[in-house]
Amino acid sequence: MGRLRFSVLATDGRARLGRLGTRRGSVDTPAFMPVGTQGTVKSLLPGEVAGLGARVILGNTYHLMIRPGVETVARLGGLHRFMGWQGPILTDSGGFQVFSLAARCEVSEEGVSFRSHLDGARLSLTPERAVEAQQMLGSDLMMMLDHCPPAGAPRDFVEQALLRDARWAARALAARDRRGAALLGIVQGGAYPELRARSVELLAELDFDGYAIGGLSVGEPKETMMAVLQDTVPQLPPGGPVYLMGVGAPEDLVACVGLGVDLFDCVMPTRMARNGTLLTKRGRLNLRNARFKQDPQPIEEDCDCPACLSYSRAYLRHLFMARELLAYRLATLHNLHYILGLMSGLRRAIGQGQYQAFARDFFAARQGNPDNE
């Protein structure tokens, strides 16, 4: 097969049920990709992640270049063998770290120069090096290097960044070898509709296998994010998957699927789990709250994840308060079970022409829960 195949199996308004074909298997969409930044979804075995329903996970090029080094991973058989994951892997290019580590990097026409967050050592990341590193890791879905401006950045700054991104995009495509994996372009442009349209126009001139929308969920109001997606998704070239980077709140997943997004990733479900916040149909549950100290109920009554089948809220709260490692494992299992189950429900609803009813019931169930504020 080619580098990437994407088929739309059903639509319901702008929501779509699809199938993404990669060289390591297919992924039904809309899909959520658990984040394994450093070659692991924190606290879980790969088999557990797959058992929860994940078919594709995300790794991070910048972090793997810093430690243990992509050359080391390549010598040990590539990222799949290194971490024991059999399915597809999408790797970020390191572009998000231009945003998250802005104080530790310098951007130029050539690329980005980082000072390592670990020891201050210099790391140079160019469009070519980002592709080379991802090919060494053995990624199935690679991302171009881009510059993600912060929310509220001045228009001129955002425009110059997206014009540079377009030049970087051409260099990234030229650097991919003939056996290289699928490569996705990243649309930027901040909250400026005309700049988003310009970014789409420039990237559409190039031979990408699909498109991601970046630069959202970086501090802008939620209404702004939705307005950008409302305008941008229909402008993307047809035929490939639409990937919204860094978005994973359940409310956002449901709403953005309705706008035509196919792929998501975010650290939110696993990070929240490690901090004691559990996801349920009614919304968020902060198990550190004293009211759960003697609560015999499971996190959610009708959930069949390992945490809910065997343990009470009181016990889980005890584990968190005692800082026991089992707390992080059980909470992570639950949150990913919830998110991946939510995506499965969305796929089923779209296939049945019931997306609107699904979304209506989803949001109605969350009303009145103060932990959702």
Distance of CA 260 to the CA centre of its chain: 16
Strands, E, within 199-276: which ranges? 210-213, 242-244, 263-265
361 is catalytic: no
Of 282, 294, 293, 219, nearest to 251 by C-alpha is 282
Active-site option among 12, 165, 209, 265: 265
Query: Do residues 54 and 85 make contact, with C-beta atoms less than 8 angstroms apart?
Result: no
Query: Do residues 342 and 251 make contact, with C-beta atoms less than 8 angstroms apart?
Result: no
Residue with tokens 């001139």: 205
Query: Do residues 270 and 339 make contact, with C-beta atoms less than 8 angstroms apart?
Result: no
231 is catalytic: no
Strands, E, within the chain: which ranges? 5-12, 15-22, 25-29, 31-33, 57-60, 89-92, 105-107, 112-115, 122-125, 141-143, 182-187, 210-213, 242-244, 263-265, 277-280, 283-286
Of 253, 363, 359, nearest to 12 by C-alpha is 359
Query: Do residues 351 and 264 make contact, with C-beta atoms less than 8 angstroms apart?
Result: no
C-alpha to C-alpha distance for 245 and 228, rounded to whole angstroms: 13
Q: What angle do CA 289, 294, 300 make, to 5 degrees?
A: 70
Of 216, 266, 304, 341, nearest to 37 by C-alpha is 266
Contacts of 240 (CB under 8 A, 6+ apart): 4, 6, 184, 208, 209, 210, 211
Query: Do residues 186 and 95 make contact, with C-beta atoms less than 8 angstroms apart?
Result: yes
Active-site option among 12, 92, 140, 252: 92
Catalytic (active-site) positions: 92, 265
